[in-house]
Amino acid sequence: MAVVSQCVSTAEKVRHHIKWLGHLVQWWLLPAWSLSAVQSWPQAQQTVPFIPVTTRQLPDVNQSYAGIIADGSSFSLNGDNVSYRFHVDNSTGDLISDHFGGSVLGDIPTEVTGAVNGWVNTIGRVRREFPDQGRGDFRQPAIRIRQSEGYTVSDLRYQSYTVKQGKPSLPSLPATFGSEDEVSTLIVHLYDNYSSVAADLSYSIFPKHNAIVRSANITNHGKGNITIESLASMSVDFPYEDLDMISLRGDWAREAHRERRRVEYGTQGFGSTTGYSSHLHNPFLAVMDPSSTESSGEVWGFSFVYSGSFSVDVEKGSQGLTRALVGLNPSQLSWSLGPGESLNSPECVAVYSENGVGGMSRSLHNLYRKNLIKSKFAMADRPALLNSWEGLGSTFNESTISQLAKESAALGIKLFVLDDGWFGDKYPRTSDDAGLGDWIPNPRRFPDGLPHVVDSITSLKAANTSTNLRFGLWFEPEMVNPNSSLYHEHPEWALHAGSYPRTETRNQLVLNVALPEVQDFIIDSVSNILNSSDITYVKWDNNRGIHEMPSSSTDHEYMLGLYRVFDVLTTRFPEVLWEGCASGGGRFDPGVLQYFPQIWTSDDTDAVERITIQMGTSLAYPPSAMGAHLSAVPNQQTGRTLPVDFRGHVAMMGGSFGLELDPAEIPESDKAALPGLIELAEKVNPIILSGDMYRLSLPEESNWPAVLFISEDAKQAVLFYFQINPNINSAIPWVKMQGLDPKATYSVDGNATYTGSVLMKIGLQFPIATDYGSKVVFLEKQ
């Protein structure tokens, strides 16, 4: 990454123009006052005098690259529709936030703090970029360091900065990436003179996605050991205003329920202490103007690129400013740094939208599809699959599996996935109390070996095609059953804390993936199976949280180890389509998406529940990343019976469509519908994978949830429309589209044509006679 030391000529021209405008506006203003002038007013001041308007100038550029202007005093990051600006308070060396929001040009007014009385000093009344602790800012800090002497005061002051084209990778951590045309990076160097601790803040801007990505690199240049006790990747101080926030909460089989609430005085937050990102709360936060909606108003989205425990805190302070912190969970972090050592935080993505929550989601979707997911399958058509789990569970043998594969092929399925139960020799995996850790095919279930089964299944042709069936396999490599050869050989590999009992969940323990020997064991076990035959899909499951940990740094060390495992395996087997899973969506996060292009969204396959779960998940994650299956009825989780079309239509809104059933066990009429649904899923798949998603109405608010996907070239669109309860003797609602070209005309399902303006301002009606009705409608630009 080249350090750019010369001005880019066009940027300079723009700047001169802006500067000239700035002078015009400035001529009548008083001379520029600095914040220090405000600070020097006497403490006991009771009345606020006339406060002159001062301006904070646009950086006097001496380092610049597309999107970044900086001069060592002020910093400006600019995207198509976003500006992010901050400056150095030259009397304190503190970084002060000026603006994160809509695109602005030119000089901006300096924020006035007003009289400073009472216990809270100026430092506690301003908007800070990277708040440290112990010097009078009583809000939650972005960083807390226990210095070698024991105290937790720090004093990080501005030192210097660098601007780079492109974006350096983060060692050992997943991170967004991009070419030198797509992203540029500002690194601001802070230093604490008293403890000799350095903090480098990295800000990358993806101008086209209105996204700013931040991480922090803390280095101990002192002589003693220090401990990092908290470290937020993103810290944003919003001005004095009312705000709402959205989080995604849930539990097993109930992921990603959207929760919107007012930001109140004090701290409100959420997070995970489970060792993984978890079903309980997703590492995602949206902050918005209280009047913002799905399609209008200002929204800020924060998405943490990490798969372990995390915390999000939103604190409205006494002065009315709101601080949002997103980072590693301090309750699971106590990271020792010896002399010369560094800790890199994971990164947090922040996007700004002036088109409501939907605009925020589309920015994240685009960024993640193009600049986060490394797999070559990120936007490639996904094969319709059949997973054996809900059909056969863990009770099967070679002939029942082969039969299921044949039935799948006859329906037009392209990928057959063998789920749990295929492994274990001395401790065969015939139920969930044995076998995890012993990654060898069960010789009694597969007397001729697994490769034999794979060969016979991959020689089947999907119905009426020349396409051979692909074969996929389930793994849960981070786990071990005490009933396993692995545990008997290596009890020390399971996470434990001294002689405290090793608490089992689902009869299993968690391997300490922080240990290099455990990482190598997992890499070798999975490689051996994948090398043994033509396996082109892996479902990587993870079915419990972490309890007993040997130390407070284990949580993060585990993640670094896991990322090494993911990196080695996905690099070694690039032809494999990897799917993440953790009892459903227990680890649905951007960290996993770096390596795996799709994740199983939920173990709840009830299609009504799935509308809420998939729409919630889509707040932060592209639909291309969601695995969604049509399962048998009554549904295994809810007992509900839904029409097969409804189940199919909900599942095909996910990038990876599949079946989760035994075709031999379902009613003939349902079975007859499957080939048509598979064909329809394959038809919509390219639009789902790379198109823009518009949530037209939400399941929490409407009996008629609806989603529109518009293809990347804007020529095609597909509408999914659902009716949950019957609609007796009421008028038929109109569904208004979004995101179309108002002047263009579109054909609706190949017959009637309307302009985009009619479709968006008036809409279409879809009378549905029953409950649980659904429609899939194609729009084609003429």
Ligand X SMILES: *[C@@H]1O[C@H](CO)[C@@H](O)[C@H](O)[C@H]1NC(C)=O
Please state the residue numbers annotated as binding site for substrate. Answer: 252, 419-420, 506, 539-543, 581, 603
Binding region for ligand X (CB under 6 A) out of 71-79, 577-585, 606-614, 627-635? 71-79
Binding region for ligand X (CB under 6 A) out of 239-247, 338-346, 609-617, 635-643? 338-346
Is residue 40 within the footprint of ligand X (CB under 6 A)? no
Closer residue to ligand X in complex, CB, 400/458: 400
Is the CB of residue 252 less than 8 Å from the CB of residue 285? Answer: no
Closer residue to ligand X in complex, CB, 331/527: 527
d(CA 698, CA 611): 9
Closer residue to ligand X in complex, CB, 261/488: 488
Among positions 39, 55, 162, 400, the unique one binding ligand X when judged by CB under 6 A: 400
CB of 674 to ligand X, least distance (A): 8
Among positions 20, 40, 48, 80, the unique one binding ligand X when judged by CB under 6 A: 80
Closer residue to ligand X in complex, CB, 138/194: 194
d(CA 561, CA 622): 26
Is residue 44 within the footprint of ligand X (CB under 6 A)? no
| Binding-site positions | 252, 419-420, 506, 539-543, 581, 603
Residue 529 host element (H or E): helix 516-532
Is residue 81 within the footprint of ligand X (CB under 6 A)? yes
Is residue 259 within the footprint of ligand X (CB under 6 A)? no
Among positions 26, 39, 55, 73, the unique one binding ligand X when judged by CB under 6 A: 73
Residue 435, CA distances (Å) to 104, 183, 397, 477 in order: 60, 46, 16, 11
Is 520 catalytic? The answer is: no
Angle between helices 644-651 and 607-617 (to 10 degrees): 10
Binding region for ligand X (CB under 6 A) out of 22-30, 216-224, 290-298, 638-646? 216-224
Is residue 665 within the footprint of ligand X (CB under 6 A)? no
CB of 395 to ligand X, least distance (A): 7
* Per-residue binder mask for ligand X (CB under 6 A), 686-725, x = binder: ----------------------------------------
Burial 152-178 (b: 16+ CB within 10 A, else e): bebbbbbbebbbbbbbeebeebbbbbb
Tokens of 649: 């239509």
Residue nearest to ligand X (CB): 72
Classify residue 758 as exposed, middle or buried by CB count within 10 Å of its CB (0-12, 13-18, 19+): middle
CB of 604 to ligand X, least distance (A): 26
Closer residue to ligand X in complex, CB, 37/497: 37
Is residue 121 within the footprint of ligand X (CB under 6 A)? no
* Per-residue binder mask for ligand X (CB under 6 A), 621-660, x = binder: ----------------------------------------
Burial 710-722 (b: 16+ CB within 10 A, else e): bbeeeebbbbbbb
Is residue 344 within the footprint of ligand X (CB under 6 A)? yes
Residue 706 host element (H or E): strand 706-710
Binding region for ligand X (CB under 6 A) out of 112-120, 252-260, 659-667, 744-752? 744-752
Is residue 171 within the footprint of ligand X (CB under 6 A)? yes
Catalytic pick among 313, 438, 541, 604: 541
Sign of CA dihedral 427, 432, 438, 439: positive
Is residue 501 within the footprint of ligand X (CB under 6 A)? no
Catalytic pick among 603, 645, 662, 692: 603
CB of 264 to ligand X, least distance (A): 30
Is the CB of residue 239 less than 8 Å from the CB of residue 100? Answer: no
Q: Report the DSSP beta bridge partners of residue 259.
A: 247
Is 448 catalytic? The answer is: no
CB of 482 to ligand X, least distance (A): 4
Classify residue 571 as exposed, middle or buried by CB count within 10 Å of its CB (0-12, 13-18, 19+): exposed
Binding region for ligand X (CB under 6 A) out of 381-389, 521-529, 609-617, 726-734? 521-529
Is residue 301 within the footprint of ligand X (CB under 6 A)? no
Closer residue to ligand X in complex, CB, 225/296: 225
d(CA 98, CA 88): 10
Closer residue to ligand X in complex, CB, 270/563: 563
d(CA 255, CA 245): 18
Tokens of 741: 């070209």
Closer residue to ligand X in complex, CB, 528/641: 528
Q: Using the structure block, give the residue that is written with the tokens 């959205």.
A: 246
Count of chain residues binding ligand X (CB under 6 A): 47
Q: Could you list the beta-strand ranges (E) of 519-664.
A: 537-540, 577-580, 598-600, 626-631, 656-660
Tokens of 329: 């969970």
Is residue 318 within the footprint of ligand X (CB under 6 A)? no
Q: What is the largest CA-CA distance in the chain?
A: 90
Among positions 34, 165, 468, 747, the unique one binding ligand X when judged by CB under 6 A: 34
Is residue 93 within the footprint of ligand X (CB under 6 A)? yes
d(CA 685, CA 510): 36
Among positions 18, 120, 380, 463, the unique one binding ligand X when judged by CB under 6 A: 463
Binding region for ligand X (CB under 6 A) out of 15-23, 69-77, 308-316, 718-726? 69-77
Closer residue to ligand X in complex, CB, 639/750: 750
CB of 601 to ligand X, least distance (A): 26
- Supply the DSSP symbol for 511: B
Binding region for ligand X (CB under 6 A) out of 219-227, 252-260, 386-394, 680-688? 219-227
Closer residue to ligand X in complex, CB, 165/400: 400
Nearest to 114 by CA among 54, 41, 57: 41
Nearest to 429 by CA among 403, 400, 395, 453: 395
DSSP string, 199-251: EEEEEEEEGGGTEEEEEEEEEE-SSS-EEEEEEEEEEEEE-SS--EEEEEE--
d(CA 675, CA 497): 53
- Half-sphere exposure at residue 265, Cβ-oriented, CA atoms within 13 angstroms: 4
Is residue 749 within the footprint of ligand X (CB under 6 A)? yes
Phi and psi at 286, nearest 5°, equal -120, 140
SS3 assignment for 438-454: CCCECCCCCCCCHHHHH
Q: Binders of ligand X among 402-421, rule CB under 6 A?
A: 411-412
Q: List contacts with ligand X (CB under 6 A).
A: 32, 34, 62, 71-73, 80-81, 90, 93, 157, 170-171, 193, 200, 210, 217, 219, 224-225, 338, 342, 344, 355, 359, 397, 399-400, 411-412, 433-434, 463-464, 482-483, 507, 524, 527-528, 531, 572, 675, 749-752
Active centre residues (catalytic): 541, 603
